[in-house]
Amino acid sequence: SMAFAEGLPPLAQQDTYKVGFAQMESNNPWRIAESKSFVDTAESCGWELISTDAAGSAAKQVADVESMIAQGIDVLFLPPREEKPLIPAVKRAQAAGIPTFLVDRSVDPAAAVAGVDFVAFLGSDFIKQGQQVAEWTIANFQGEKGVIVELEGTTGSSPANDRRTGFDDAIAADPRFEIVASQTGDFARDMGRQVMETLLQAHPNVNIVYAHNDEMAIGAIKALELAGRKPGEDVLVVSIDGTRDALQAILDGKMGVTVESSPFFGPLACDTMKRYAAGETIEPWVQVSDRIFTIDNAADNIDAAY
Ligand code: GYE
């Protein structure tokens, strides 16, 4: 039968499955919402869920996957912290006959291919997210010259790579803007604050901060305020995710936009796994479509935020 592509492990239709979810870290609301989404989906999807937390270490995430393989999971859901170090884990899971779905982040496509080395990537279009932030900034920035500091996500992660490409390429089309510094804040609030403090000293004329996620944006707002700046008045802060704190910052006038990146993967993971077990060919990229949050809709969406 052609039901399962050559090389991809088959998955039987069963009432229950032993499912591994190897989380990378739990240091921000996005990660906690994602983990909760898997826990909340488990019962209705028939999952006996084994979850781990790699605490920010790609090496531990690899070891966590290996331990799940040893425990005989039927299916693996993996958000690879970085694009390259998790590739051996992905290949080992497949070699052990375990259908593997990457969720929320992907791996280096030159080294592991969706539909061949793993079933599919479930997640957002990070390039488009960066483009949308740039387009909103171009349309809404009021000053004459936009001096931009960019706070990047985790080095070597797919969202950091692609959110940078999407934003940088789109903003380069408008000569009003210049990116004067771009540095990693590891997707973390406190590191975002620290990096912003340092970059503010080197570039006191910054008037736009683009953060690759809301946690770093909130950290940057703190740094700006400590330095006597007024985010929302003399500095435009823009980012990605759609957390409760970011929507509140928009309502408080401190942030301009956050492009959504949904963490609620549980139901999509269940649906995709069931389609796969039913013999459907899964598209290599199961795309999540995201909204844009601004002052126009932040109040309507904050209650559902995390
Ligand atoms: O934006 C960030 C998280 O991989 C899409 O990772 C995810 C990103 C999300 O730490 O907040």
| Model pLDDT, residue 23 | 98
Residue from 124, 210, 241 whose mutation best tests the ligand 1 pocket (most atoms within 8 A of CB)? 241
pLDDT in tens, 174-183: 999 999 999 9
Tell me what the mean pLDDT of segment 6-14 comes to. 93
**Ligand 1 center from residue 13 Cα (angstroms):** 32
What is the atom index within ligand 1 of the atom nearest the CA of 243? 11
**Ligand 1 center from residue 102 Cα (angstroms):** 14
Average pLDDT score over the chain: 97
Task: Show the tokens assigned to 234.
Answer: 């003399």
Tell me what the mean pLDDT of segment 33-60 comes to. 98
pTM comes to: 0.97
Give the C-alpha separation, 96 to 94, whole Å: 5
Pocket of ligand 1 (CB under 6 A): 28, 30-31, 104-105, 159, 187, 213, 215, 240-241, 261
Per-residue pLDDT for 68 more than 80? Answer: yes
**What are the residues whose beta carbons fall under 8 Å from the beta carbon of 296, sequence distance 6 or more?**
none
| Model pLDDT, residue 232 | 97
* ∠ CA 132-248-133, rounded to 5°: 10
Tell me what the mean pLDDT of segment 164-182 comes to. 98
Percentage of the chain lying above the pLDDT 90 cut: 98
Residue from 37, 53, 186, 261 whose mutation best tests the ligand 1 pocket (most atoms within 8 A of CB)? 261
In the chain, alpha helices (H): 29-45, 58-70, 87-95, 126-140, 158-171, 189-202, 214-226, 244-251, 266-277, 298-301
Give the C-alpha separation, 284 to 136, whole Å: 30
Per-residue pLDDT for 227 more than 70? Answer: yes
* ∠ CA 208-136-295, rounded to 5°: 90
What is the atom index within ligand 1 of the atom nearest the CA of 158? 4
- CA-based nearest residue to 89, from 112, 65, 71: 65
Give the pLDDT band (50/70/90) at residue 3: low
So what's the ipTM on this one?
A: 0.99
Tell me what the mean pLDDT of segment 19-24 comes to. 98
| Model pLDDT, residue 186 | 98
Q: What is the helix, strand, coil percentage profile of the chain, to 5?
A: 40, 20, 40
| Model pLDDT, residue 70 | 98
Give the pLDDT band (50/70/90) at residue 6: confident
**What are the residues whose beta carbons fall under 8 Å from the beta carbon of 153, sequence distance 6 or more?**
159, 160, 163, 184, 185, 186, 187, 212, 213, 216
Task: Show the tokens assigned to 210.
Answer: 């683009």
Give the pLDDT band (50/70/90) at residue 5: confident
- Write the CA distances from 227 to 189, 224, 240, integer angstroms: 17, 5, 24
Per-residue pLDDT for 269 more than 70? Answer: yes
Give the pLDDT band (50/70/90) at residue 7: confident
Q: Phi first, then psi: what are they for 208, rounded to 5°?
A: -140, 130
Residue from 34, 37, 78, 104 whose mutation best tests the ligand 1 pocket (most atoms within 8 A of CB)? 104
Q: Whose CA is nearest to atom 8 of ligand 1?
A: 159
**Ligand 1 center from residue 100 Cα (angstroms):** 20
Poorest-confidence range of 4-13, 21-30, 39-48?
4-13
What is the atom index within ligand 1 of the atom nearest the CA of 30? 11
pLDDT in tens, 112-156: 999 999 999 999 999 999 999 999 999 999 999 999 999 999 999
Per-residue pLDDT for 9 more than 90? Answer: yes
What is the atom index within ligand 1 of the atom nearest the CA of 240? 1
| Model pLDDT, residue 242 | 98
Q: Is 203 left (phi over 0), alpha (psi -120 to 50) or beta?
A: beta
DSSP letter assigned to residue 10: P
Total Cβ atoms within 10 A of residue 91: 16
Percentage of the chain lying above the pLDDT 70 cut: 99
| Model pLDDT, residue 1 | 43
